Amino acid sequence: MANERVDVTRIRSGRSAWSPANGWPGVVLLAATYVYFLIFAQFGFLKRLGELGLEDAQLKPVMGAMAVGGILMSLGAPRARFWTCPKCRVQTGLLGCAVMAAMTLLTLTPMLAMAVAAGIGLSLGLLTVTLVANLPHWIGTRRPLMKIALGTGLGYAACNVPWLFDAGARGIAWVALGVCLLATAVANRAPMLPVEDAALETGTVPFGLGLGWFTALVWLDSAAFFIIQNSPELKAGTWQGDMHLWRTGALHLVGTLTAGLLLARGRVRTCLGLAFGFLAGSCWLLGTPGGIAGAALLYPVGVSLYSVALVACPAYLIMSRGWDERGRRAGLLYAVAGWTGSALGIGMGQNLHAVPMAFVAAAAVLFVVPWVWRLSPGGRRQAIAVALVCAVAWGLQRQLPQAAPASAETTVEAGRRVYIAEGCIHCHSQYVRPGTRDVAMWGPVRPLAEVKAEEPPLIGNRRQGPDLSQVGSRRSVLWLRLHTMDPRAVSARSIMPGYGYLWARGDGRGEELVAYLASLTSAEAGEHYAAVTAAWKPSDEDFDVTRRDEDGERLFTEHCGTCHLAGGQARGMGRSMAGGGFKRMPPNLFGDAWFRIAPGLTESQERVAVGRVVKYGLPGTDMPGLEYLPDGEVEAIADWVTRKRSETLAGRAAASR
Amino acid sequence: MGWEALLPVPDRGVLRAAALHGLAWLLVANLIGDWLAVLLLFPKAGEWLGPLSYGRWMPVHMNLQLYGWTALPLVAWLLKLYRADESWTAEWGRAALWLWSLALGLGGVSWLAGGASGKLFLDWTGYPRVLFPAAIVFLWCVVALAYLRGWWSERPDAGLVKAAKAVGLLLLLPVPVLLYLAPDTHIYPAVNPSTGGPTGASQLESSLIVVVMLLVLPYGLVKAKACKNIWAWVCWGTVAAEGLLCASLGRGDASHHEPAQWMALATMVVWVVLIPQYWRGFEWPAYAWPWLKASVAWWALLVVLGSWLFLPGVLDRLKFTDGLVSHSLLAMAGFATSLLLLVLVVLLEEDGERLDSAWSFWLWNGAALAYILLFLAAGWIEGGNPAFTMTPGPLRNAFYWIRLAQGLAMTAASGNWLVRLARVPKRAPVEIAEMEDVAEGSLA
C-alpha cells in the first residue's frame, strides 16, 4: 500500500478543476515521463552522441548500458524493501533523469557516455515502474484510463511539435531537464490519493498473455522505428517537415484517445489487437514500394494504442493481488517487454533492415489464437475455415503467373505503371473524341485500334484536368516536371494534387512518370498543331472590350504570371532544375524581340498572333498553351499583352528621342 | 437431444450481419467520398496525407460502394433465397461475410498502396485479386450446401423452384473466375469510337441484367399474389425480345451516332412502366412502401435520363464531365441504394423497420436528387467550357461546396442506418423461430 496517506475530506472538499483529486498530477507525470523517454532518451541523446563523434561500434555498448540499467532497476526496484515511499522514488527517478540530461551538455568520452546511458536507464527504470505501479495514487479512480490516454497523448503530441522535434541535441537536453524538474515539483506538491485495493480489482488480462503481447508490440515498434530512422527516404516520408510532424502529433492524440475509450469499455484485447494490426501493416508497407505513405499513418496510431495500454495494464488492468505484486509485475513487464523487446527490435532493424513477414505472422499467432480460443466451438471452426481459405489463396497467388519484374521495364513502361498506380485515370482521359472540340484542344485523334492495343487502354472516365493522349506534344519535359512536383507553381488555379513525393531523393518514379507523359505523342502531332494554330481566329463576340484592361491583366497574372512577371521579364524558375532550366530563356514580353512573331504586323494581326501563342503555346520551347480557356479570355490576354508592349515600346522610343 | 434439433431454424442474425457489413462499407465509402469532395475544393489538403492522393482514394471509394455496399445486401438476399439463413449454414454464411469483408478491406489497403489495374471497378491486383474470388467461392459453397440440404428438408421446394435455383447456382459459379480474369490488362470491352466509353449494345446488355434482377428479386423477399399477373408474361416476353435485339446489335465497337445503338437503348424506357406493374403482383409489407416507391421513382428517372444522355449531341457534350458523374450517382445513390434498402427492410422484417427512419430517408433521397440536378447542370456548363472545371472559379466552387454539404448529409443518413441497426439486440435463432410460431399462431 501507499506509504503516504492524506486527508480524504480535504481533497474532496477542495475539488475544483485543478484539484489534485481530479488526477491531473498523474496526467502531468505521465506526459513528462513520455516526453523524456521519447524525445531525449530515444532521440536527443543519440543526436548528442552523434555530435560527439561516437561511431556505430561505440554506440552499441552505450545503448546496451542504458538497457541494462533499465532492466536492472525495473526488476530490482519493486523487490527492494528499503526506501519504499513511491513519492520519493518517483522524485528520485525524475531528478536522476534531469541530472543525466544535464550531463549530456558536457563533452562526454565513450566511457562517460556509457555511464550516463546507464544512469538514464536506471533513472527511467525507477521512475516508470514506480509511477505505473502507484499511478492510481496520482490519477485516482475516476475515469483513470482516459486520463492515462490523455497523458500519453500529450506526451507524444508534444514530442512532435516541430520546434522541439527539430531542435539540436543541447536544446532537447535543456527541455528534458526542464520537464523533469517541473514534474519533480508536481510530484512533490501533489498529495497521494487514497485508493483501496478493491477499487483496482478490475484486471482482466492474464499477466503471461499480456507480457507476450507487449513484447511483440514493442519489438515491432522498435524495429519499424529503427528502419525508418536509418533510411533517408523513409524518414523523409514520415517525420521530416512541419506538416508531417503536426500530422503525426495529431494521429498520436487520436490513437491515444481511441485507446482510452476502448480500454474504458473493457476492450483491452481489441485495443492491443488493433495496435498489432496497425504496426504489422506499417511493417509490411515499409517493405512495399511506395508504401511509406500508409506506414506513416498506421505507425503512430499503432504505437499510441499500445502505449496507453502499456501504462493502463500494469496500473489497472492486469490481474494482480495487491500493490506489491502489481509493482513486481510492472517491473517484469517493463524489463522484458519494454527494455528487452526494444533491444530485440532495434537488433532486428540493424541486422535485417526489414521486419520479416514470417516474424509478423508468428507474432500474429499470439493475438489470433487467444481470440479464436474465446469463440464458441462453431465460431472457432469458422475462424479456422476463414484462415484456411486465406492461406490457400496466398499459396494460389504465389503459384499464378506474376507480372514482369520491374527491372525488365523501360523507363516509359515504368512511368505508365506509376500513372496507373497514382490513379491519374480518375482525372485525365487519354481519348480525343473525333469531330468534337477535343480535336482542337487535345488532338490529333488516335485510331481506335491503337488505343485498344494498349494494355490496358487508359481512356479514362472523368476529366478534372486536360486530356493527356498527346501531352508530350503540348508540354515540355521541364513543364511536366514542375507541374507534377507542384502543380500550382505553373498553373495557379490547378486542382491537381502535388506529387512531390515521387521526386524524393532515391525515388525514380517522378522521372519515370514524366518520361511516360513525354512519350504520349504521335508523328502527326506537330503538323496537327501547326494547322490548328494557323486556323485559330478569335471571335470578337467572345471578347468584352469594355473590360479589356481589367480582364486582360487579371488573366495574364493568373495564367501567365507563373513564368512571366508583370513587367514582361521571365521568372528565373527552372534554372536550378535537375536536367536544366528553360530550353530557351523567354524574352521580355514588352521590350525584347519575340520568338516566331514577325515584326511589322498591324496591332490586330499582332493580337491574333499572340492569341495563337497563348492558346497553343510555342512548340519546341517550354511555353505551354492554354487550350482549355474560352477564346474570349485568350483574346483578352493577347489584347492586354499587345497593348502593354506597344505602350512600353512607345514610351521607350519617346525617351530615346 | 431430440430430432427437432435437426430441423432448420431460421437465423435472422446472418441477414442482419450482412446488412451491417454492407452499411458499414457504405459509411466508410461515403466518408471517403466526403474527403474527395474536400480535395476538389482544397487540393493542398491532400498533401497532409502525402502519397495517399485523390487518385489513390478514388478506387477505394468506388470499389467499396460496389463490392461492399451494393453487393452485400444482395448476398443477404441470396442467403435467404437459398434458405442458407437456416440452421448450420447460417453460421457458415456469417463466416463467408467476414471473409468477404476481409478480402475487401485488404483490397482497400492495396488500392491505397497503389495496387491498381488501370481498369475502373476492376482494380483487383496481388493477393486480394485471389482472395476476393476465393471469398465468393466460399459463399457459393455455403449457398450450394443449403440448396442440397433443401432436397431432404421437411419443407422441400417445388420441382420448378428447385430447377430454377439449380440454374441460378450454375450461373453464379463462373462469377469468381470472371472476377479474377476481368482485371487482366489484355482484356477490354467494346468501345464507342465517338466517346471512348461503352457502346449502346453493351449498355443495353448490362441494363437487361439489372432488369432480370429486378424481376427475380421479389421471389426471395415476398410472396406473389394469388391472382394471375399478366404483367409477368409481358415482362419476361419483353426481356426475351430485348435480348434478341441486344444480340442482333453485336458486340463490336459501335458509335452512339448509329441510330440502332441509341434507339435500342431507348427501348429501355418501357421498363419505367413494366417494372412497377410487375411488382404490383407481389405482397409487399406496408413498412417497405417508402423504399419501394423510392426505388420505382429512381428507376424511372435512371432509365429516362440514361436514355437521354446516350443521344447524339447530348452524350457528346456531357461525356467526361460532371454530367456523367451525376448519372453514376443516380444509379448508385439513388436507384441502387433505394433498392438495397428495400431488400434489407423486407429481409430483416421487424428489425428492418429500424431502417425506416423518416429523416434519414428524406435526407438521403433529397441530397441525392439535389446532387444529381446540380451536377447535371455543372456538366452541361463544363461541356461548353472545359475551363469551368480545370481552372475553378466562384460558380464551380459554389457547386462543389453544395456537393460537399450533400455528401455530408448522405454520410449522416448512412451513419444513422448503421447505428440504428447495430443497436438492435441480437436474438438467438430459436427465439426468432418461437416468435414466428407465435406470430403464425396469432394470425391463425
pLDDT in tens, A252-310: 999 999 999 999 888 898 999 999 999 998 898 887 766 777 788 899 999 999 999 99
Mean pLDDT of B190-194: 94
Residue A255 amino acid letter: G
Which of A605, A604, A581, A601 is CA-nearest to residue A593?
A601
Q: pLDDT (tens digit, 9 = 90+) per residue, B293-325?
A: 999 999 999 999 999 999 999 999 999 999 999
Q: What is the pLDDT of residue A203?
A: 56
Cβ-Cβ contacts under 8 Å, A457 against chain B? 188, 191
Confidence of residue A590 (pLDDT cuts 50, 70, 90): confident
Report domain extents, chain A.
13-355, 408-527, 536-656
Residue A12 reports pLDDT greater than 60: no
Q: What is the number of CB-based contacts under 8 A between chain A and chain B?
A: 195
Q: What is the pLDDT of residue A403?
A: 66
Residue A115 amino acid letter: A
Dig out the grid coordinates for B242 from the structure: 430485348
Describe the crossing of helices B200-221 and B71-81 by its angle, rounded to 10 degrees: 50
Between residues B21 and A629, which one has the greater pLDDT?
Answer: B21
**Which of B50, B117, B130 is nearest residue A293 as measured by Cβ atoms?**
B50
CATH 3.40.50.2300 fits A408-527, yes or no: no
Number of Cβ atoms within 10 Å of the Cβ of A414: 20
Residue B441 reports pLDDT greater than 50: no
Q: What is the pLDDT of residue A8?
A: 42
In contact, B207 and B265? CB cutoff 8 Å:
yes
Helix (H, G, I), strand (E, B) or coil at A205: strand
Q: pLDDT (tens digit, 9 = 90+) per residue, A103-143?
A: 999 888 889 999 999 999 999 999 999 999 999 889 887 88
Same domain for B101 and B209, yes or no, is: no
Query: Which of B283, B300, B325 corresponds to the end of one domain?
Result: B283
Mean pLDDT of B94-121: 93
Q: pLDDT (tens digit, 9 = 90+) per residue, B222-237?
A: 998 887 778 899 999 9
Does residue B131 belong to any structural domain of this protein? yes
Domain that includes residue B152, residue range: 1-185
Q: What is the domain-level CATH number for residue B82?
A: 1.20.210.10
Cβ-Cβ contacts under 8 Å, A289 against chain B? 114
Confidence of residue B1 (pLDDT cuts 50, 70, 90): very low
Residue B21 reports pLDDT greater than 80: yes
Residue with cell 456469417: B94
Q: What is the pLDDT of residue B442?
A: 40
Residue A94 reports pLDDT greater than 90: yes
Q: pLDDT (tens digit, 9 = 90+) per residue, A493-515?
A: 899 999 988 887 778 899 999 99
Number of Cβ atoms within 10 Å of the Cβ of A610: 23
Residue A365 reports pLDDT greater than 50: yes
Does residue B191 belong to any structural domain of this protein? no
Same domain for B387 and B274, yes or no, is: no
Same domain for B213 and B248, yes or no, is: yes
Which of A77, A132, A86 is CA-nearest to residue A320?
A132
C-alpha to C-alpha distance for A252 and A258, rounded to whole angstroms: 10
ipTM of the complex: 0.92
Confidence of residue A231 (pLDDT cuts 50, 70, 90): confident
Helix spans in B229-336 (H) = 230-249, 259-266, 270-279, 289-309, 314-318, 322-329
Does residue B192 belong to any structural domain of this protein? no
Same domain for B431 and B377, yes or no, is: yes
Residue A43 amino acid letter: F
- With vertex at residue A328, the alpha carbon angle to CA A325 and CA A331, rounded to the nearest 5 degrees, is 150
Cβ-Cβ contacts under 8 Å, B199 against chain A? none
The phi, psi pair for B86, rounded to 5°, reads: -115, 145
In contact, B228 and B290? CB cutoff 8 Å:
no
Number of Cβ atoms within 10 Å of the Cβ of A83: 10
Interface with chain A: mutation pick from B36, B320, B389, B399, highest number of A CBs within 10 Å = B320
Q: What is the pLDDT of residue A6?
A: 43
Which of B431, B317, B295 is CA-nearest to residue B364?
B295
Same domain for B169 and B233, yes or no, is: no
Query: Which of B239, B265, B283 corresponds to the end of one domain?
Result: B283
Q: What is the pLDDT of residue B228?
A: 75
Helix (H, G, I), strand (E, B) or coil at A629: coil
The answer to whether the Cβ–Cβ distance between A459 and B197 falls below 8 Å is: yes
Query: Which of B283, B299, B329 corresponds to the end of one domain?
Result: B283
Same domain for B274 and B348, yes or no, is: no
Residues paired with residue A205 on neighbouring β-strands, in sequence order: A318
Which range among B82-91, B386-395, B428-437 shows the weakest confidence by mean pLDDT? B428-437
CATH architecture of the region A13-355: Up-down Bundle (1.20)
Residue with cell 485510331: A447
Number of Cβ atoms within 10 Å of the Cβ of A361: 11
Residue A580 reports pLDDT greater than 90: no
Could you tell me which CATH number the domain at A536-656 has? 1.10.760
Same domain for B59 and B131, yes or no, is: yes
Which of A116, A101, A300 is CA-nearest to residue A183?
A101
Q: What is the pLDDT of residue A516?
A: 97
- What's the mean pLDDT when you consider all of chain A? 86
Q: How many angstroms away from the CA of A538 is the closest CA of chain B? A: 15
Same domain for B423 and B410, yes or no, is: yes
**Dihedral angle, C-alpha A562, A563, A565, A566, nearest 10 °:** -70
- What's the mean pLDDT when you consider all of chain B? 90
For chain B, the first-to-last Cα distance in angstroms comes to 29
Does residue B190 belong to any structural domain of this protein? no
Cβ-Cβ contacts under 8 Å, A435 against chain B? 194
Residues paired with residue B10 on neighbouring β-strands, in sequence order: B86
Confidence of residue B431 (pLDDT cuts 50, 70, 90): low
Count how many domains chain B has: 3
Tell me if A408-527 shares its fold with A536-656: yes
Mean pLDDT of B411-419: 96
Judged by phi (left if over 0) then psi (alpha if -120 to 50, else beta), residue B157 lies in beta
- With vertex at residue A439, the alpha carbon angle to CA A436 and CA A442, rounded to the nearest 5 degrees, is 125
Q: pLDDT (tens digit, 9 = 90+) per residue, A405-427?
A: 666 789 999 999 999 999 999 99
Q: What is the pLDDT of residue A250?
A: 93
Q: What residues 357-416 of chain A have any CB closer than 8 A to a CB of chain B?
A: 378-379, 382-383, 385-386, 389-390, 392-394, 396-397, 400
Helix (H, G, I), strand (E, B) or coil at B50: coil
Give the DSSP H or E segment for B157. none
The answer to whether the Cβ–Cβ distance between A290 and B321 falls below 8 Å is: no
- Would you give the DSSP letter of residue B268? G
